[in-house]
Chain A
Amino acid sequence: MATGPSNMGEVVIKTDKLTKRFGDFIATNEITFDVYKGEIFGFLGANGAGKTTAMRMLCGLSTPSSGSATIAGFDVYKETESIKKNIGYMSQKFSLYEDLTVIENITFFGGIYGLSDKQLKEKTEQLIEQLGMKSEAKKLVGSLPLGWKQKLSFSVAILHEPKIVFLDEPTGGVDPVTRRQFWDLIYDASARGITIFVTTHYMDEAEYCNRLSMMVDGVIKALDTPTNLKKQFSADSMDQVFFELARGAKRKGD
């Protein structure tokens, strides 16, 4: 279990009965929770449980049907542009431009987030050093192995030192060694005060989180530290906890 800040820190994500409806279908049903600064917060749930819908609302990409939420202090209805400036996002589906080189990608995304030329130069060198990509810097991202792409993608997502970074299944399909290297990067970021909001299907990764929430059928069925959850469900592993909670789920969507 990772350490994080002491329990009562600054709240960076606050939701209150956040809901999203599509016609008659309630994808996300009155979810209420807080996330603290520097925390590694795991957002778990089966496919179709409503995770993606919830995340989109938190990123300012989708307007909620009802309820309220503030991200990094900005209102999710009225201040979505400010939210986008203060968060980072990385998903499996899209990370970087495959037909641009490593450096070009860093420069581009850094530029988008308003980094100055000097900052960009510094950060680029730092990043390449940290990831050990000196000889790959000028290669097209498309030619890199998956694991490297993911690590680079994460680093680019936090290039502008956002308050929160949202990670949507960032380690899918990656080999076990690279996965752990990825989580080293996550730990580093968390230690620097960046809040990590991550979804994953790997149950051992659930253990790396400070706290977890589990969504089932659009509702948050559990929210606590991994240790407490295991006690609550008399389980040996997060796998079992997940199984217990998800088994009764009616919705097993996409």
Chain B
Amino acid sequence: MSDVILTNLKKTYNDNTVVAVDNVSLSVEKGELFGLIGPDGAGKTSIFRVLTTLLLPDGGTASVNGFDVVKDYKKIRNSVGYMPGKFSLYQDLTVEENLKFFATVFNTSIEENYNLIKDIYVQIEPFKTRRAGKLSGGMKQKLALCCALIHKPSVLFLDEPTTGVDTVSRKEFWEMLKRLKEQNITILVSTPYMDEATLCERIALIQDGKIMSIETPANIIKQYPDELYAIKSNNMSLLLKELRESGMVQSFNSFGEYHHITFDREAEDSQGKLIEYLKNKGHTDVEIKGVTPTIEDCFIQLMKNKINGHGPK
């Protein structure tokens, strides 16, 4: 049986005026590293709070480890690990005190499951007598993760654990998660960073409370409907304008060093025609190459589909 199951979940706020989660269904298998990818306001935190039994659903059902989130909430609370959005450990307790406290709250001790958190804890151990409030963002994260793991939970819920933390710490954090997977803990992570999506086994792309796609990252990329090209020239901002005005591209999005574009499938020799057009407009060093779409490309494409009413896959 899947470890986490959501069926037609609905969550509203403010007397039904705000629909945060709209008919979401998904399931996570045992030991899977599952990512919930979407921007702020997409509904990620609401979903997490329903799964950790902190909020009641307004429609649909949810279960964790086979226990219903409404009826068997106590059993769920006994067995999951939770790391909510902002840092939520005791700022005025030290690293050690926080860890001890949470161990005892879960009827266990630091020693019992130390092997689980060892790799992470050794990084903050030199600071174990420092008050948690005085730790850096990256270290707070690590501590919070330890406290969530200390009782060897069967399912780990991490709500935007890498938000507000620098790139290097983010990478380190995901390394730690990969190693945790080896312990067969089911991990459900949410993040607004699209580049972290590829680090998960399966992901759900979510926007405005609706799921746009649930797949492995590789499959989502495979399902990108068009050929994607990267284009650059000597004047990128002007290039973007001209791509818009030319009418020769189906979609165009800036992507850092290059712009990503797609062509109308029916058109012939679109590349050639475009390069010609741009040269005439005065662009030099025009370079076009085919590229593999990133998750972000797919997300944007799915968002646009939604806006244009093509519906989610």
Contacts and interface: CB of A to CB of B under 8 A. Distances in A.
Asked if the two chains touch in their complex, CB atoms less than 8 Å apart, one says yes
A2 B234 CA distance: 9
A242 B234 CA distance: 24
Contact of A1 (B42, B257, B303): B257
B297 to A, nearest CB: 9
B167 A174 contact: no
Interface in B153-189: 163-169, 171
Interface string A205-245: 11110000000000000000011000000000111001100
B299 A176 contact: yes
A139 interface: no
A247 interface: yes
A252 B235 contact: no
A3 B238 contact: yes
B20 to A, nearest CB: 12
Interface residues of A, number: 43
A145 B41 contact: yes
A176 B168 contact: no
Nearest to A183: B254
Contact of B166 (A175, A227, A246): A246
A176 B300 contact: yes
Given A3-B237, A146-B39, A191-B237, A175 B169 contact: no
Contacts of B296: 176
B167 A203 contact: yes
A205 B256 contact: yes
A237 B39 contact: no
B207 interface: yes
Contacts, number: 104
A5 interface: no
A200 B207 CA distance: 22
A253 interface: yes
Contact of A203 (B192, B237, B256): B256
B136 A175 contact: no
Interface magnitude class on chain B: 35 or more
Contacts of A190: 237
A84 interface: no
A46 B139 CA distance: 14
Nearest to B297: A176
B236 to A, nearest CB: 5
A177 B205 CA distance: 14
A203 B165 CA distance: 14
A147 B41 CA distance: 10
A24 interface: no
A254 B136 contact: yes
A98 B162 CA distance: 26
Interface string B271-313: 0000000000000000000000000100110011000000000
A125 B30 CA distance: 55
A123 interface: no
A46 B167 contact: yes
Interface in B199-240: 207, 232, 234-238, 240
Interface of B: 38-42, 136-139, 163-169, 171, 192, 194-195, 207, 232, 234-238, 240, 253-257, 296, 299-300, 303-304
